[in-house]
Structure formats: structure tokens, C-alpha cells
Structure 1
């Protein structure tokens, strides 16, 4: 049997990791297009499971009346193709639901229709924690029996090893004898970076630094953050896209990772703190409390970011390392892949080549 992934989605680390894990288990992996009658027929002839992650990539078109009409047409095409795939050809469909609805959506009503339809057409819906399953059952109660909890795999093997902190600071032209909080990742409004800058300006000490690293993809959001930072020299903003091979440089130079999401269900980013054994500051929302270990993180409720930035310095290095190792063990790619094969795709014996 074959497992089919969408070619465009395979550019994203989650899908690339799953494909890597499946191939290591001897499972045949193929890439295809977003659902269409032709691709559905091909999968039906060859036999296999179709795994989709982000249906919005197919129909999301931006603002404006014309783009809205095109989005609606593409969404309808996707829904019809999914129904043909599932109910005409009898193909097993798996949907990894990373968020209840897409981030930064212009048309949440359309997203809700599409997500409901994709869940309806799916044999199994994967989420990454028990809280996510509860929220999915709350938002899509008709389909609660399809939801399976499988953790998000960590990024071991994707990014480089941890390096010497002080050597990395030299390379990146960062000060040595300071405590560096780092925000790392795509710069988006829902990630709460403005709030982080404001809180840091209030609670950060003279020997503290806030390093913000990531691209806003031309939205201008970084300029807004710079205006809030003002002339505070403790705040260093690098609006760049960091290639995979350089991620370990930035993670190695930091004392603490801060991901102050305003809204999130699943975050692959929180697993970076475990991989590099640095403490994490994040809100106690979505899957984050289940993804991390209490020994390596300070999680906060609404309004508690400033206090968390202070408290994180009190964590003991040994406990951070032990907590990080525990997270890495339970999110290992081998563990996740075995669960997918046994609980989602239909059984290890059937899938081996």
C-alpha cells in the first residue's frame, strides 16, 4: 500500500518528517496534487491512503471580490474532489488538523465550511494533544469518533546540533555577558510579539537582551514591532529568513526561548527549546502544556507574560535538561511513525514493502 502526500505540503517540516519516518519503516510514499477526479482515480488504481494537512493552501486567494469568488470556486472544487475520493473511490483519507481554523484568515466562514467538509470526508483526523481533541469535538461534534491523538514529532535531524553559546554569539555579533531571550520563527500578529516587546521594556534588566529573529514575508509587521521597540538598545530585531542549516546558531546563542502566542493550537516551535535544552516561556494554551515538561518551561495565563520572563531565570539547568530529554523521547520520530502506521494508516504488516 502507498501513502500519498500533497507535493506542495511536503515542503513543510511536519510532512517531511513523517515521510522520512515512513520511508525508514519501509513504507512506500508517493506525492500527488491536491484532490481532483484524476488524482483520486490514480490513487484508487494503485491503492493507498491520502494524507492532507492544510486544505486552505489550495483555495486561499487573499482579499477582494474577485479573489473571494475564485476562493469559493476552488473551495467547492476541493470539497467535491474530496467526496469523490472518499465515497466514490473508497480511498482512506487522513487529515492532520494543526489548527481549528487557519491563521490570518480573511474568510473564516469559508474555512469553517471547508474544514467541516474535509473532516466529513476523512477516515481519521489527527491532532497532537488531548486538549486539541477536546476542542475539535467541541467545534465539530458530529465527527468526534474520528479524532486520534498523535504527538507532533520533534526536529532532531532537521537542524544542527547545539553549539557553544559564546562562540555562536561571536559569530552572530551578539554581546557575551548578557541574558538573551529569543523569539524565533515567522513574524505574525497571532504570535504576540508586540506584547512581548512591551513587556520586555517593562521588566527586562540592564543585562538582559531580547533577540527577535524571523521574516514577516513583506507584510510590514516587523516595522510595527520596531516602532514599539523605539530606541531601546536591549531589543535586537533581525527580520530575516533563517535557513535550516543556521537555525542551531541562533538557538545555541540564547538563554531562553519565548513564544508568546495570543492564539495557538499546536506549536512545533516549542519543541525547539527541548532540542536545544533551553528553557521556554509560553502561554498555557492549546497543546503547549502537554507538549512541554514543567521542568523546562514557565507557562503563563493571560496577563502573566512579564512575570514569566522574570521567573524563567529561576529554573535549574539540570532540571531543564532532564525535562527536555523527556520531551524529546516522547516526540521522537520513530515513536510518532509507529503510532501513525498502527493507529491511522491501517497496520504495520499491511504497509510494509
Structure 2
């Protein structure tokens, strides 16, 4: 079975998820290629697997944005009509994080949704929310395949004391970490403001990751200049540095104002660090599978009291159980879903077993 993935391996260094999906399905006879100019001009792909269809909407200049959006839709339509390809959307987000209230966004998404043949949701909540917002997709194939963990993508044997020394942190500091792209919905200025307002000399906050919001970056830099306890690393971080930041911290804090799924939460759990996160979106599902000592939740807006409770709870012993987020399971479920969608027989015993456990709806 041949799959054209958008993306496949291109984001491996910045977000390993698409590559891990490709790698996991290869064991089940799926050959995946990158969605690039050379491959997209070829027809005959069994499945076109789209992760983030909103990417063209991020283009700054409207004429270019319009041309790219139209081009993507025309190419997908040609693959459906000429190549008989099935289009599958993995619904990381149900709409762009940085929403553009513009006719092009509505027009582009409405036409993209009409072409989708099947959807992969990363949680039961995500699928329910997908159907609530886009009722037309209820009549199409769907499956839940949970977001895989990041164990193996980042070093895990990093010494805590050495990491703290490199980051100029004391052994008795209480270190909060928020790592990932800096975007408005992540509410990082609120977290920095809470730390800034409390008089606790040993409380330290580290915010690290690429900048995607100039406004939030300005606020964070101003607070960091006023308060030495707030440390910023606004840049792309190589895997070794990511591992050092996690090794040095006591608690990962993700103060999102809006969330469907969170790769940052899975990353924290993969690095065996407890996380404090809003109870919105798929978070309660993940907490139920992994344990509330590892995934600690708050309701409403983040408060310093919630942070203090999580710090006082301490770090659980051992490593969290991530058996529900293993990549071989992702490979089984995803490849089986693809095969059923294109009408290809399931012959391997392992894939048949996966099929019987699939929460698949309305497959034909």
C-alpha cells in the first residue's frame, strides 16, 4: 500500500510525530512518501494522509496564500478523480491555532472537508468534538489512534545535577518548565506573571521553545528583565538540550487557554516528568490512562495555588505507564484503517487482531 503523507519525514527534527507514524506503519506493509512537488505530480497513491491542512493559511501574503490554497485543493481533487486516492485527515487541530477570520479560511476548509474520506482522531473527545463541529464527517470512516509517546526521540539518561549546573539552577530550586512553541493559546504570559507576582526566591520558571507570537515574546522578555527567576530560551532546541531542560525541572506547566490534543503533554510524560495542565480537551482521557499523579489538572484559569499543590505533591516514583501510546499499536491501527478504507483485504494475524479492537465507525 502506498501513502503520500503531508508531512512524512520533513518535520522529524521539529516534531517527530509524522515520522513516527510513517515508521510504525512500515512494519505493516505501508510505503510512505513525502508530499513534495515531485511526488504530488504522480498519481496512483492509495492514501493521501494529511496532518495539518491549515499550513497554507499561515502564509503571510494574501496573494501567495490564495494561490497555494487553490493549488492544494486542485491537486487533491485530481488525485481523487484520476488516481482514485483516499484522503485521510489526522485531526491534530480542528481549526488553525492562529485563527484568521477570513473568507479564504472558511472557503478552503469547507472544500477540504468535502474531499476527506476518513479521519483519524487522537482521542475519543477529539472525535466527538470533530463530529460536533463538522457533522458531515460523521458519515465517513473514522478511528481513534492515540498520539504516540516520544520515548527514544530524546535522550533520557541525563543527570539532574549536571543539567541544573549547566542551566545555572541550584539544587534546592523549585523549577517549573514550559517547553514548546510560544503561541497565544498557550497562555505563557499568564504563567510568567504568576511567578513574577509571588515572593518565592527559590521558585524558578523556564520557558523554552521557538517563538511564534511576537506579542507574547515581548511580554515574556519584559518580565524576564524584571525578574531573574524567569529564564527564557526562545529558540529551536536540539534533542540534547530538550532532555536537559526536562531533567532539570520539577514540574511541567502547560497553562493552555484552548486545547484539543497536546504533544507537549506526551513529551513531558515521555521524559518522566509530572505535568500540570487544564482539564479541557483530551486531558482527562490521558490522565485516566496514565494516572492523575502524572497528569495533574486544574479548572478555569491557572492559579499559583494550583501550581503550589502540584509542587507539594512531588514527582511520582518510576516512569508513567505509556502502554496505550506505544508506536507498534499506532502502526497496527493506522495501517488497518488505511486498508479497510481502500477495500484491501486484511491478511496478517496481527492486523486482524488490531481490526477487531478498532473503534471504527461507518466503514464501508
Would you say same fold, with TM above 0.5? yes
1:133-163 superposed Cα distances (whole Å, 9 cap, x missing partner): 1211111111123332111111111111142
Correspondences of 1:322-333 after superposition (within 5 Å): 324-325=320-321, 328-333=322-327
Deviation track 1:25-72 (CA, whole Å, cap 9, x = no partner) reads 4432222327x9x836x231xx4211111122235321xxxx323322
Which position in structure 1 is the counterpart of 2:120? Answer: 126
The aligned counterpart of 1:343 is 337
**Contact 1:86–1:122 under 8 Å retained in 2:** no
Task: Kindly indicate whether the alpha-carbon contact (under 8 Å) linking 2:28 and 2:335 is maintained by their aligned counterparts in 1.
Answer: no
Q: Which residue of 1 aligns with 2:355?
A: none
Contact 2:195–2:203 at 8 Å: present in 1 too?
no
Q: Matches of 2:303 and 2:102 in 1, distance apart?
A: 28
Q: Aligned runs of 1:227-306 on 2, under 5 Å? A: 227-292=222-287, 293-306=291-304
Alignment partner of 2:93 out of 90, 99, 103? 99
Q: Do 2:184 and 2:213's aligned partners in 1 also have CA atoms closer than 8 Å?
A: no
Judged with a 3 Å threshold, the aligned counterparts in structure 2 of structure 1 residues 297 and 72 are, in CA distance, closer, same or farther, namely same
User: 2:219: which partner in 1?
Assistant: 224
Is residue 341–residue 348 contact of structure 1 (8 Å, CA) maintained in 2?
Answer: no
Structure 2 regions of 5+ residues with no counterpart? 352-364
**Greater Cα offset, 180-189 or 52-61:** 52-61
**Contact 2:46–2:84 under 8 Å retained in 1:** no
d(CA) in 2 for partners of 1:114, 1:97: 16
Deviation, structure 1 residue 16? 0.9
- Give the root-mean-square deviation of aligned CA atoms: 2.6
Please give the alpha-carbon distance, in whole angstroms, between the structure 1 residues aligned to 2:73 and 2:30: 28
TM-superposed CA distance for 1:183, in Å, is 0.9
Cα 1:273–1:348 shift into 2, 3 Å: farther
- Alpha-carbon offset, residue 285 of structure 1: 1.3
Give CA deviations for 1:303-332 in whole Å, capped at 9, x if unaligned. Answer: 2432220110233544x646x22xx21111
- Partners of 1:118 and 1:218 in 2: CA distance: 27
Q: How many residues in Structure 1 have an aligned counterpart in Structure 2?
A: 339
Query: What TM-score does the superposition give when structure 1 sets the normalisation length?
Result: 0.87
The equivalent of 2:362 in structure 1 is none
Q: Which residue of 2 aligns with 1:310?
A: 308
Measured against aligned partners, the alpha-carbon deviations of 1:112-144 in whole angstroms (never above 9, x if no partner) come to 332332232122111111111121111111112
1:112 pairs, out of 101, 106, 113, with 106
- Partner Cα separation in structure 2 for residue 50 and residue 143 of structure 1: 17
- 1:217 Cα deviation from its structure 2 partner: 5.2
Residues 108 and 18 (structure 1), Cα distance of their counterparts in 2 relative to 1, 3 Å cut: farther
Which of 69, 82, 92 pairs up with 1:75? 69
SS in 2 for 1:295: coil
The CA distance in 2 between the partners of 1:268 and 1:137, in whole Å, is 22
Measure the CA separation in 2 of the matches of 1:203 and 1:215. 27
Question: Which TM-score applies when normalising by structure 2?
Answer: 0.84
